A = this chain, B = another copy of it.
Amino acid sequence: MIRPMARTNTRFVEAYNELLSLCDQLEVGAYLPSENALASQLGVSRTVIRSALTRLDDCSIIALDGREKILRRHSTEDDRLEGPPVLLGIEELESRFLDWVLRMDVPPGTVLNVAQLSKDFSVATHTLQEFFSSLSRFGIVVRRPRGGWVLLGFTKNYAVELSDFRTVLELNSVRHLAALPMDHEVWARLDSLEQEHLDLLQRIDNDFHDFSPLDEKFHAVINSVVTNRFVKEFQKIISLVFHYHFQWNKTHERERNEDAIREHLALIEALRSRDADKAEAAARRHLATSKQTLLSSLETNSHAT
């Protein structure tokens, strides 16, 4: 009897299997704890516990009578339940989707097929819908007049605007940072970052690939001094877009990375001098380079309007 299962019973299955393990640790004839105790122990509602106990009774693993739950036998491998295929949540979807768009180089204007994509990414269709709705805030997708979604970015325009926005946010961070007292913990982190940069510069010829994560770390530290939820939300998108593209732009990679390292070092030094104008100028220089790299990365990859 296969009935439509409107909602996955993953929680029930997991709780049931956990209960089996719990029973196996007890002697046959022992009493199980109360429903409330089991519920809070397994982190599920009493409803789930009760369904599981009922099934344990049906399988003669326990004798259920009112509040008496006596263990009758230990479980076998056959007793364990198989759960439905686990679907991904919306958090995992984000990076997987952007990964798909950027790696596969999905052209702007592509109509996004929710039914198909939900299979490809193994998520529920409504999860995708919600995700697209949230992405529409960043102008990466738009809703079509009568249903459906279209991929907008990443065009050249998008890259320019994203870079400009990044510049606005990051210059703000830099100005904040330059004004922080010397005993602020960020200075120690910058010192260690400087060391990592110098270290990579030594072995740049071989290890230039190591720059991308270092770059991400560097900008994260710079922006960490501004505690603003809007800044942080954008940092996520910015970081994703920039680093995916850097990863796939192979032209003059070694030189680009070496130049970027020197720009980072210059910015660190300018920051340490506590000269806001000098720091801002150094940051501007580096962000302009970054923008150019992103743009050229888009141009080498086919479409860019």
Interface residues of A (CB under 8 A from B): 90, 126, 129-131, 133-134, 136-139, 143, 158, 161-162, 164-165, 168-169, 172, 227-231, 233-234
List residues of chain B with CB within 8 A of the CB of A134. Answer: 133-134, 136-137
List residues of chain B with CB within 8 A of the CB of A126. Answer: 126, 129
A230-B90 contact, Cβ under 8 Å, with A130-B130, A130-B133: no
Nearest residue, chain B, Cβ from A172: B168
What 5 pairs across the A-B complex have the smallest Cβ distances? Answer: A130-B133, A139-B229, A165-B230, A133-B134, A137-B137
Nearest residue, chain B, Cβ from A44: B146
**Interface majority SS (helix, strand, loop, mixed), chain A:** helix
How far is B233's CA from A138's CA once the two chains are assembled, in angstroms? 8
List residues of chain B with CB within 8 A of the CB of A229. Answer: 139, 158, 161
18 new A-B contacts at CB < 8 Å, known A139-B233, A168-B169 = A90-B133, A90-B143, A126-B126, A126-B129, A129-B129, A129-B130, A130-B130, A130-B133, A134-B137, A137-B137, A137-B138, A137-B233, A158-B229, A161-B228, A162-B230, A165-B228, A165-B230, A230-B234
How far is B90's CA from A294's CA once the two chains are assembled, in angstroms? 33
How far is B135's CA from A233's CA once the two chains are assembled, in angstroms? 12
How far is B128's CA from A129's CA once the two chains are assembled, in angstroms? 11
List residues of chain B with CB within 8 A of the CB of A227. Answer: 161
How far is B143's CA from A178's CA once the two chains are assembled, in angstroms? 36
How far is B131's CA from A229's CA once the two chains are assembled, in angstroms? 19
A250 CB to nearest B CB, Å = 29
How far is B292's CA from A137's CA once the two chains are assembled, in angstroms? 28
| Contact B230–A139 (Cβ < 8 Å) | yes
A231-B165 contact, Cβ under 8 Å, with A90-B143, A126-B126, A143-B90: yes
How far is B127's CA from A129's CA once the two chains are assembled, in angstroms? 10
List residues of chain B with CB within 8 A of the CB of A164. Answer: 228
A6 CB to nearest B CB, Å = 13
How far is B34's CA from A145's CA once the two chains are assembled, in angstroms? 25
How far is B162's CA from A138's CA once the two chains are assembled, in angstroms? 17
A161-B131 contact, Cβ under 8 Å, with A168-B169, A169-B168, A172-B168: no
List residues of chain B with CB within 8 A of the CB of A162. Answer: 230
